[in-house]
Structure 1
């Protein structure tokens, strides 16, 4: 792939773009976004005092109030009935008892298995564990799954639809292998162990009797008394050759409300004030480990959050000087992204400003680091851009125009591909705007060794590069806020299913 900047063909066609001459006022306020300010804000937001900013935690509320106070200091309007905080209706579901026994083997939660399903049972159920392997119509004719725990081999495939198909066929529950190798499983089990005491945070939904136990490939082989390679081969078309095992399991669940907030500051526009641009980031991270280590989340997504605050301040300074944007801008920091894009989903279902009036969403999630792809490159001034041309033929070109005029970053589109195996398009908060046919741009620096580790700390941040990225986002937002025509929604959303 050519990583160099390539200006889209026919850039100016129909866009009413000015020449490539820089606008002095725009440059003046972009230059108020500085390394010093970003460093100061991120050093606080990603400090141990913030305790990893977990959704619903006291430290998460501390971070929310810090952001709300910041928007208040800028003189922005409090758009949620006079508040900067939008309460997000979440609950914590705790599974206070989860047991699984196969034969005489009593499995240990978050060591031998990870519970990834749902359920609430007053007493333990006794059944059989049968092996289905791959979920094919042929295999389902060979194995009776009704009322049984069903062993699935789902390595390298998306398993949600497969699990649903087996449950719809009458299975009582699932025991699933989704990755090979004990080390891979142990990493996931360690993370689930950290989350056990906190509960699973999400929207309040009816409990489904859908017990799903994830095990390693080695453990599955042990449960059936069969070598891994034999199981893998039988999974294809001869699952009936694997003998069933007696099994007992139970799941007990309790729920409690969670106090969590989206934070927003609102700058009203002038002649086009009814049209709103949303600039978003998620300020939550994953809290503290079971050993007391803080996940500071400096890059994920402290970097995006302080970029939003710096861009907000730049617009506030311009407004103070009498240069207000034509369109209104909502600066939105959401909670619960790490739990499943919860805060942005809640906003999109309960918008403060009508989604019909929302011109675009600019989402910033991880813009403070250099990833695996660029760490050996001579030119590291890059940013990944995702989603910018799906719903509007103009949005990508507007961003490129501002880049070539002001920033000269490498705009890398590799993760914009529909078949991107990382599925980054689906993994941040812009998704909940795009699914409502609102054009989006997602700015991202890619992953690195410190992603979701306690080592994602401020000392690893590339502040000069982060400043350039934030300035580009400011320039693109300034342009979108002030141009005569908003970007048309003339594309089709072909990625509606996460």
Structure 2
């Protein structure tokens, strides 16, 4: 009952505010199925080649979005530029080699290396310390004798890497390769050898290039870590190998130093690529120094070979073209003298499919003050219907995510606006604290939320074409997509024109 009264009060307040400022409905109706379809057949067409980050297809999509922002007379949002570039790095192996007592061992046949965290180095050392399972916690430290030497570790059987998962958070930290590297580094190891099964291995490197990554400058430089076969370990430990392996299984491993002439060589070339977010800016009136963001990611998975394209019509062509249509609606309002009080930033980001890269870069290098950013409304997949949704009207719904977090203003505004204008079913399934899909953490709004900016994420759920080449524009429900985009517009209208910024009165939770 209390929530009903609150929503009614907000609805009345919203109506009064809208009447005082302007009626948003004439501008919302410019967000049409036909316009969305026109844009989407371009964004998710073959010419964009799947829009993979740091490829020509992504750059073509960025150019198209920029051209639309210019046509709407938006201002360039990045100090005179519409694009906010950021660097991406990729490693290419030049050489990787291990020699033990003059015997060479081959990459993939006998060892692999942690390429992304490795650094160019050639190490000659004749002291190798057996460091058990590589456990270092308050009760024991397997690395106490490794300073300036090579540490040799048997990865314990309870490690997820050996068992396929299922261990506790403590086990993942205690036995995982990253925790081993971290502990060895803190104890001064010169390099790390981790004994694993499964050699020889098929090369996963292809051309010898790593997957691209965002963090080119690491906070900590770890010792080079080689994952080695039992044959390499036997060449170092000799007849002690079997007893050492058994001692790790029983938890009775004791450190021991072996004398062996070990040469570890790793050389890599770092390639610097680039990508960009596209940023359009609309200046507000009396509250122009406060900001509302409307975001979506325009990248997708690219293509495989010359013929297979991952079109990404729903993911996230639907969000991208919705941002274009929302920008057009606000531009028409501004042209008629009814522009927003707060400034609005329309930002389409790249790198989402790689790990929320574009939004991470923006939130770590903001153009506009985050403490003056009232909210981020993020749109990621609003063009389809979730076949798993069995309750309610699945032709008239949208998943609303994050409106119960960070600000107690979010849900009352969202529900009042929806009740007044769009009357969609607002489904809060993915707000569940134990959501197994962790949807709240998987799109670009999260990089605003982690900085304290209130967010709402609009989502239709996954479907059988999710992350497949069959996610094509012909499968979009354009009428439903337009209605969902209009809900975002009305919500943005209220947030851009209300007297106060949204409260930040709910602590951010990682769970």
TM-score range, shorter chain: 0.7 to 0.9
After superposition, give the CA deviation of every residue in 1:112-164 in whole Å (9 maximum; x if it has no partner): 97957510243478969987399876686699988335425121456577454
> Which residue in 2 is equivalent to 1:414?
429
Aligned pairs for 1:246-285 (under 5 A) are: 251-285=266-300
Structure 1 unaligned spans of 5+ = 1-5, 225-232
After superposition, give the CA deviation of every residue in 1:252-290 in whole Å (9 maximum; x if it has no partner): 322232232211111111222221101111112232235
Q: Equivalents in 1 of 2:195, 2:503: separation in Å?
A: 45
Structure 2 unaligned spans of 5+ = 235-245, 255-259
> Which residue in 2 is equivalent to 1:59?
57
> Which residue in 1 is equivalent to 2:117?
118
Could you tell me whether the CA contact under 8 Å between 1:202 and 1:339 is conserved in 2? no
Shift of 1:106: 5.6
Q: Using the TM superposition, name which of 453-462 and 257-266 deviates more.
A: 453-462
Indicate whether 1:40 and 2:38 are aligned.
Answer: yes
Shift of 1:439: 1.0
Indicate whether 1:148 and 2:161 are aligned.
Answer: no
Candidates 302, 323, 340, aligned match of 1:287: 302
Aligned pairs for 1:184-199 (under 5 A) are: 197=209, 199=211
| SS of equivalent residue, structure 2 residue 281 | strand
**Shift in alpha-carbon separation, 1:300–1:113, aligned structure 2, 3 A:** farther
Q: How many residues align?
A: 471
Candidates 80, 83, 94, aligned match of 2:81: 83
**Shift in alpha-carbon separation, 1:7–1:92, aligned structure 2, 3 A:** farther
Shift of 1:480: 0.8
**Shift in alpha-carbon separation, 1:254–1:107, aligned structure 2, 3 A:** closer
> Which residue in 2 is equivalent to 1:201?
213
Could you tell me whether the CA contact under 8 Å between 1:275 and 1:357 is conserved in 2? yes
Q: Using the TM superposition, name which of 199-208 and 119-128 deviates more.
A: 119-128
**Shift in alpha-carbon separation, 1:143–1:282, aligned structure 2, 3 A:** same
Could you tell me whether the CA contact under 8 Å between 2:122 and 2:263 is conserved in 1? no
Candidates 338, 350, 357, aligned match of 1:323: 338
**Shift in alpha-carbon separation, 1:390–1:211, aligned structure 2, 3 A:** farther
Candidates 386, 392, 403, aligned match of 1:388: 403
Q: Equivalents in 1 of 2:268, 2:4: separation in Å?
A: 53
Q: Using the TM superposition, name which of 362-371 and 160-169 deviates more.
A: 160-169
**Shift in alpha-carbon separation, 1:367–1:132, aligned structure 2, 3 A:** farther
Could you tell me whether the CA contact under 8 Å between 1:276 and 1:328 is conserved in 2? yes
> Which residue in 1 is equivalent to 2:456?
441
Q: Equivalents in 1 of 2:400, 2:275: separation in Å?
A: 29
Could you tell me whether the CA contact under 8 Å between 1:139 and 1:237 is conserved in 2? no
**Shift in alpha-carbon separation, 1:41–1:8, aligned structure 2, 3 A:** farther
Q: Equivalents in 1 of 2:324, 2:443: separation in Å?
A: 18
**Shift in alpha-carbon separation, 1:57–1:168, aligned structure 2, 3 A:** same
Q: Equivalents in 1 of 2:419, 2:227: separation in Å?
A: 48
> Which residue in 2 is equivalent to 1:227?
none
Q: Equivalents in 2 of 1:464, 1:441: separation in Å?
A: 22
| SS of equivalent residue, structure 1 residue 330 | strand
Could you tell me whether the CA contact under 8 Å between 1:383 and 1:443 is conserved in 2? yes
| SS of equivalent residue, structure 1 residue 278 | strand
After superposition, give the CA deviation of every residue in 1:298-327 in whole Å (9 maximum; x if it has no partner): 222211111111111111122222221111
**Shift in alpha-carbon separation, 1:78–1:405, aligned structure 2, 3 A:** same
Indicate whether 1:310 and 2:325 are aligned.
Answer: yes
Could you tell me whether the CA contact under 8 Å between 1:382 and 1:412 is conserved in 2? yes
Could you tell me whether the CA contact under 8 Å between 2:297 and 2:352 is conserved in 1? yes
Could you tell me whether the CA contact under 8 Å between 2:93 and 2:209 is conserved in 1? no
> Which residue in 2 is equivalent to 1:10?
6
Q: Equivalents in 1 of 2:136, 2:468: separation in Å?
A: 34
Q: Using the TM superposition, name which of 336-345 and 145-154 deviates more.
A: 145-154
Using structure 2 for the length normalisation, give the TM-score.
Answer: 0.76
Shift of 1:45: 0.8
**Shift in alpha-carbon separation, 1:107–1:256, aligned structure 2, 3 A:** closer
After superposition, give the CA deviation of every residue in 1:395-422 in whole Å (9 maximum; x if it has no partner): 1211111122222222222322344333
**Shift in alpha-carbon separation, 1:338–1:434, aligned structure 2, 3 A:** same
Q: Equivalents in 1 of 2:40, 2:286: separation in Å?
A: 35
> Which residue in 1 is equivalent to 2:133?
132
Indicate whether 1:360 and 2:375 are aligned.
Answer: yes
Q: Equivalents in 2 of 1:10, 1:79: separation in Å?
A: 36
> Which residue in 2 is equivalent to 1:3?
none
Could you tell me whether the CA contact under 8 Å between 1:430 and 1:440 is conserved in 2? yes
> Which residue in 2 is equivalent to 1:477?
492
After superposition, give the CA deviation of every residue in 1:12-42 in whole Å (9 maximum; x if it has no partner): 5689724599979322222221221111111
Q: Equivalents in 2 of 1:296, 1:370: separation in Å?
A: 18
**Shift in alpha-carbon separation, 1:166–1:299, aligned structure 2, 3 A:** farther
Shift of 1:449: 3.5
Could you tell me whether the CA contact under 8 Å between 2:135 and 2:142 is conserved in 1? no
**Shift in alpha-carbon separation, 1:142–1:122, aligned structure 2, 3 A:** closer
Shift of 1:72: 0.4
Could you tell me whether the CA contact under 8 Å between 1:116 and 1:213 is conserved in 2? no
Q: Equivalents in 2 of 1:257, 1:277: separation in Å?
A: 32
